[in-house]
A and B are shown apart, each in its own frame.
Chain A
């Protein structure tokens, strides 16, 4: 498989903390890549670095052989890299359908729509992530939708950009049992449509069902990479999550 996004030796420091430390990663076209690591490992910072919300101190990001390291977030979004946020941030005073319509006003969406109707497209995006049905959801405000729906609304907003890569930051965070299975189905469907997906997640059981490959971060650096089963047995990974054997954890 061809790589679609290449991250080379990217670094970012916040004050005294090296949030991302010489991190490199190849994302292959069409795969579902899981990005895991303990809290504070630098996963979300990595997303921010890819999408331009945070500028790297050094290192490069290439998207389809084009250097996107120094570009602004909206430019990167318009190239086809869409993201969601860990703390979902819908447009609270706007209707669900308007939330999605904002993405449809972007340059990329306008080019790809060739005359089709904005409302129609917004509805389609909401249906793709199962915010609709029920139809009444499209007229709920961003602030009125339940947590599970806003998580998927965020994905619908990202999907409206017709992205080639979708970066999902903890899509399962705070979801109930039923909502998790819907989310799982939605992500699987998007994968089948050929969208490259990167997922940050702590809920390992859900991630294991989806991810074809896992990358593990710890203190901003990569400590393991490979098929999920192998990574789960990796010594360093166990250490990062549980501490070293013989540590005086219970002393």
Chain B
């Protein structure tokens, strides 16, 4: 295995991995320190939402960016989980730390149900179909308010203290992103990416693509569900707005702006968009317009998002398969036996 090219490649991989680790640690560090700088309720609340939407964006990314199944109705998982978490809290008195993961489990179930038509539809057509699912649910809620209660009010808050709430959201976000990145780097991530690139070739390579598509939907549903459940408790209420198409759009914009298929990009995208969203509060009626504009500009001028821009700037490879990590280790062993 001794070769100049190989050595250079190992060097590149090494650089990429340590760069990624550094970015992750630095981000966590800065975000963990923020409450020391400001305890402003207003700013912390924006940050909490940014954390929730990081998870939500990453949940879109594992399905859309990594596996290549574009869902335009990500709010479906978010909304169902929000309603379920809310109902479990209100009617059964379960605390948030239990209702949020259970909400995630409902996200998984919905994900698996939605996965079925995705197997029969080509990606473009599935995207169109997925746009409709959350609207159907929202419609049902509007149609039978006596059955669904329309909205659910008076849920238990995450915590009475905004700083505690902030740290809970941060912890949840970092753990979720960490888990998703781990998955992206594992053999499962490798298979997800192969399905995105060419499903037929993956199938010819002996990969049960159906199984892995279901898995991608389950993961996406779970993390979107967690985000939904958290938001329900944060707002202490759930309403049909959780199925809003604008919400689905937000998940997509966050992931695309950060860098599709990178998972971590969702954090950057979400923080940027959250502050932009706040800045636009005075002209709320133009918000959708601005979001759409950002989307167009990103797709046109920055198709890889912020993460890929950084990668280019620092000449690192974003390729993520952890099998390559071994190469680095082996090269190190060869140099210092």
Contact = CB atoms under 8 A, between A and B. Distances in A.
Given A98-B190, A102-B190, A105-B191, A51 B9 contact: no
Interface in B306-321: 317, 319, 321
Interface in A112-144: 117-119, 122-123, 133-136, 138-139, 142
Contacts of A108: 206
Contact of B200 (A72, A85, A117): A85
Contacts of B151: none
Contacts, number: 114
B205 A117 contact: no
A83 interface: yes
Given A135-B6, A142-B197, A105 B204 contact: no
B281 interface: no
A109 B206 CA distance: 9
B326 interface: yes
A103 to B, nearest CB: 4
Most B CB contacts (10 A, CB to CB) among A78, A89, A92 go to A89
B28 interface: no
Contact of B206 (A93, A122, A161): A161
A135 B3 contact: yes
A157 B4 CA distance: 25
B207 A74 contact: yes
Interface string A50-67: 010100000000000000
B278 interface: no
A220 interface: no
Interface string A74-101: 1001100011010001111111011001
Contacts of A95: 319, 321, 324
B193 A94 contact: yes
Interface residues on A, range: 35 or more
A102 B3 contact: no
Interface residues of B, number: 34
Contacts of A198: none
Interface in B110-167: none
B8 A136 contact: yes
Contacts of A135: 3-6, 9
A157 B202 CA distance: 10
A158 B197 CA distance: 17
Contacts of B326: 117, 119
Contacts of B200: 53, 73, 85, 89
Contacts of A160: 205
B39 interface: no
Given A85-B200, A89-B200, A91-B197, A102 B324 contact: no
Interface in B177-207: 187, 190-191, 193-194, 196-198, 200-207
A100 B205 CA distance: 9
A138 B205 contact: no
B190 A105 contact: yes
B201 A89 contact: yes
B324 A119 contact: yes
Given A91-B197, A139-B12, A83 B204 contact: yes
B320 to A, nearest CB: 9
Contacts of A78: 206
A177 B190 CA distance: 35
Nearest to B211: A74
Contacts of B207: 74, 102, 105-106
Contacts of A161: 205-206
Nearest to B187: A105
A108 B207 CA distance: 10
Contacts of B209: 74
A77 B5 contact: no
A73 B9 contact: no
A118 B8 contact: no
A189 interface: no
A94 B194 contact: yes
Contacts of A138: 6, 9
A51 B206 CA distance: 11
B9 A91 contact: no
Interface of B: 1, 3-6, 8-9, 12, 187, 190-191, 193-194, 196-198, 200-209, 261, 317, 319, 321, 323-324, 326-327
Rank and list the top 3 A-B pairs by shortest CB-CB distance, nearest first: A106-B206, A91-B197, A136-B5
18 contacts: A72-B203, A73-B200, A74-B205, A82-B204, A90-B201, A91-B201, A92-B198, A93-B197, A93-B261, A102-B191, A103-B206, A105-B190, A105-B207, A119-B324, A134-B5, A139-B317, A142-B197, A161-B205
Given A105-B187, A119-B324, A139-B317, 20 more contacts: A53-B203, A89-B200, A89-B201, A90-B197, A92-B198, A93-B193, A94-B194, A94-B197, A98-B319, A101-B190, A102-B191, A102-B202, A102-B207, A106-B205, A108-B206, A122-B323, A123-B1, A138-B6, A160-B205, A161-B206
